[in-house]
Amino acid sequence: MGMTSAPSSNGLLTSCYSFRFSSAVPPMFTLLSFVSPSPSSFSSSSAKKARHLKLGAAGIIPRASAEGGPGPGPVELIEDSKFVPLNAEDPKYGPPALLFLGFELEEATKIKQLLKDMDGEFLEVIYCTEGMIDRPLWEAVQTRQQDLRRIKIAKQLPRICFLSGLSGEEMMMFIDAFSETGLEPAAFAALVPNSADKPLHELMEEIMGDHEMLTGNRAGPE
């Protein structure tokens, strides 16, 4: 399990928590948070818009030393990790969709505007309903919701966005752009083959457990 960091377009440090099982264990999911993008196949215009972030996405911030300063190598948060970082070269998997848990209906306007700006309107925007909680992730990302106002959105869920049908590079680009929309932060998880048949509630618990553990480790003393 690793954390990579890079300066964002607004000068703040952004971080990416990447979870991917090693070759010895089938991949379960990739959990991300605020990663700087590289230009991707969303569109040539969006690639130009993100070009100033390319170098930040390509580099890995050195490991922090015992004194708190930089040192060689990527940051490793947990010893004996079974996870490896997300790569920009990771292939697409699943239908083109974004599945949102714990988001409010009013946020859909900003999400759809973001996709429009990135020429990403081919992505289906799906809100998690109560009926999806016990269903496999694969079924959930296949859902079509013609009118979000007519569905009963599941309440009191952690804020998670599952990304499906995007390459690693495209996911990086989307997440960095999301962080600039003014929307509340969320955990981002990529659909991979070994997570497809697991129920949402199980994945949700695993993702948030790891996310909280990492953010707890990252936090400094009060």
Please report, in tens digits, the pLDDT of each residue of the chain (222 residues total): 333 333 333 333 233 333 332 223 333 444 443 333 333 444 434 433 432 222 122 222 222 233 343 333 333 333 333 344 667 888 899 999 999 999 999 999 999 999 999 999 999 999 999 999 999 999 999 999 999 999 999 999 999 999 999 999 999 999 999 988 999 999 888 998 888 999 999 999 888 876 666 666 544 444
pTM of the model: 0.64
Q: Is 4 helix (H, G, I), strand (E, B) or coil?
A: strand
Residue 151 CA to residue 45 CA, distance in Å, equals 34
DSSP state of 167: -
Q: Is 8 helix (H, G, I), strand (E, B) or coil?
A: coil
Residue 191 CA to residue 84 CA, distance in Å, equals 15
φ and ψ at residue 117, rounded to 5 degrees: -65, -30
DSSP state of 94: S
Q: Are 115 and 123 in contact (CB under 8 A)?
A: yes
Is the C-alpha dihedral spanning 176, 177, 178, 182 positive or negative? positive
> Residue 45 belongs to what H/E stretch?
helix 44-50
Side-by-side strand order, sheet with 160-164 = 30-32, 187-190, 160-164, 97-101, 124-127
